[in-house]
Structure 1
């Protein structure tokens, strides 16, 4: 079978990386996308390293983004996100990646898919097809490209870069159509091996389920390697995720929930406290408003995913939710401590007399992105 060549760009977006494709270069029938993406990224790999592809062996480095002209009048581009499993032959389109969303606007203008001033501020309205939501990206451009330098520092990324503001408009119901898919702020989930677990199941930017760290026998400040080596903990968190998936009507039953690996994301949260980071820096209780350890596709994240951070920010504004009860945030930006440091986010939520009346207006965050490589990737095909 001969090698095929496909135009592509390799980009960092926030604390993730992905291979970026123009939609026009891919098969019109999306059934043909999965085999290409799996080969390009290097999955499935039982060794978990993806050395035969562009992936990096962890979920945040095993991603694909597809960008094309907008199918909606209120957006400039369509953006489809694909999460590629590292060890299994699975490509999941069920949710979005907020980190890679920061790379979409720069990619779109540099590829000529969207327009922007040659110098000044670019504003790109992005239609994420996974969630049917609009994300507004604002960033500086120089000579028609994302500004090469800037003053924004992101924990987990060395150096400084130009800031990209991402505004997730009306983020509620990204997957399920409801901010509170279960109709409750807090649910009691029955999880094998744990019993009854109190959890908040929220769908904002991406559906997530939040539990208190103490319910799964943790402090909430453990680093990813320690969590990754704890098979019992990972099994418990997967049990919570699957139970929440069924309760949120994402999957019809527990077995089906095991096949929809991308959502909901599952996280444990705790009150602000002294917490180590991957760089060796110690965070104090005064550095953050809430601490989170998030897992997706069975792997603990090195940094909180942006859609997860947006969902957590929204949830801390929902009275009576697990994160709200553990958070010290008041009005203004919310500081989320995670293994790589602190992420600053914001959210606006209006209260209601009933759960159905609670409304999320927006969630916002600042990220950065960089174009790393452009050329062609090879895959085997007819």
Structure 2
């Protein structure tokens, strides 16, 4: 029996924020994978090592968590006054699909560096020393993102002393600005309400803020679902009943937000929306052993991604948190003490994060103009990734 040999594809393995992913230039992909479709999805699944019934992704580049089962494709810009198109694919771990419905805010921090190294940014826009401004078109949600990448001696500066909770080692700081961060078309609050009564069969009626900023997110009060907001990953992820509850809530929230037409669609749209729960500040010990005091944060937030509690915080969810905090009356704003605010510092399982956001009312509708956060990124490995030639 004859089997096709492996092929090799130029790729870079990068950390961005608290996530890792495999980065490609569109022109480097096999021709059949340069357009959206089954071939591309099959290729990325094989690269990452999915679907894996063992949920380990041993035979691929994935790390068996939502934070490490990610792919990025960069291409020449399709929009004027942009440097690069950025397409994000969230690869399911145990199911055969790639979710293209949203962005990854953490990996966005690595897009600027990859765009510079990949030749997408004009040489005359890269200073010898200073900061390069990379104008990114986020193709999943059709929004502009600005990455400010430090440059030393004409090359991307990756090392530094910027520390990010959830990342072990310090690195250079990359500022990321999400412009007009409502995700896709439609209102920032798709139901028209800052707080809704979300009816979930067998669970009850829950107060919920459903927002469309950074990434569609459903915010709940921690106490309404039996939590304190100080929980760490294992406490939630080791409880199948809790994970099932969150998935049921997520599906009903997605339906109410108009993201799906029926509940069954939620199973193939795992990346969006996110579910998060909030609580007033309280002391807890983070996953690294660091004590987070009640006075260190404005609000506590825990969020789930791809069916599991995230070890830190998704970058796009951080945008949603900051934007919701900036709007008086939302559950996030109430938990943070209410009132007007231009930034919020929140506690997550790995520590704390500060994010700035600007929101205002226009013709009675809330809109977000910008959200800003600092992340870091670096290349972990570059060269070629190999996959069997008959896998796509």
CA distance in 1, matches of 2:342, 2:36: 42
2:67 aligns with 60
Unaligned 5+ residue runs, structure 2? none
CA distance in 1, matches of 2:60, 2:348: 28
1:293 partnered with 2:293: no
1:159 aligns with 169
CA distance in 1, matches of 2:73, 2:137: 12
Contact 1:125 1:135 in 2 (8 A): yes
1:188 partnered with 2:197: yes
1:169 aligns with 179
CA distance in 2, matches of 1:251, 1:135: 26
Contact 1:176 1:203 in 2 (8 A): no
> In terms of mean alpha carbon deviation, does 74-83 or 149-158 score higher?
149-158
1:212 aligns with 221
C-alpha displacement of 1:334: 1.1
Deviations 1:6-63 (A, max 9, x none): 0000000001000000011222332121111111101111111111111111000000
Contact 2:208 2:219 in 1 (8 A): yes
1:97 aligns with 104
CA distance in 1, matches of 2:105, 2:118: 20
> Aligned residues, how many?
379
C-alpha displacement of 1:163: 0.8
Contact 1:193 1:236 in 2 (8 A): no
CA distance in 1, matches of 2:50, 2:102: 19
C-alpha displacement of 1:257: 1.9
Match for residue 335 of structure 2 among 326, 344, 347: 326
1:137 partnered with 2:137: no
C-alpha displacement of 1:143: 3.0
1:23 aligns with 26
CA distance in 2, matches of 1:211, 1:373: 39
C-alpha displacement of 1:366: 0.2
Match for residue 367 of structure 2 among 359, 364, 367: 359
> In terms of mean alpha carbon deviation, does 108-117 or 62-71 score higher?
108-117
C-alpha displacement of 1:177: 2.5
* Helix, strand or coil at the partner of 2:137: strand
C-alpha displacement of 1:353: 6.8
Contact 1:71 1:78 in 2 (8 A): yes
Contact 1:103 1:370 in 2 (8 A): yes
CA distance in 2, matches of 1:148, 1:317: 32
Contact 1:110 1:144 in 2 (8 A): no
With normalisation by structure 1, the TM-score equals: 0.96
* Helix, strand or coil at the partner of 2:270: coil
2:348 aligns with 338
1:375 partnered with 2:383: yes
CA distance in 1, matches of 2:276, 2:157: 34
Deviations 1:212-238 (A, max 9, x none): 011111111111011001122111111
Contact 2:106 2:316 in 1 (8 A): yes
CA distance in 1, matches of 2:289, 2:161: 23
Match for residue 45 of structure 2 among 30, 38, 63: 38
Match for residue 108 of structure 1 among 106, 115, 119: 115
CA RMSD of superposed structures (Å): 1.3
C-alpha displacement of 1:332: 4.4
Contact 2:346 2:353 in 1 (8 A): yes
Match for residue 129 of structure 2 among 119, 122, 132: 119
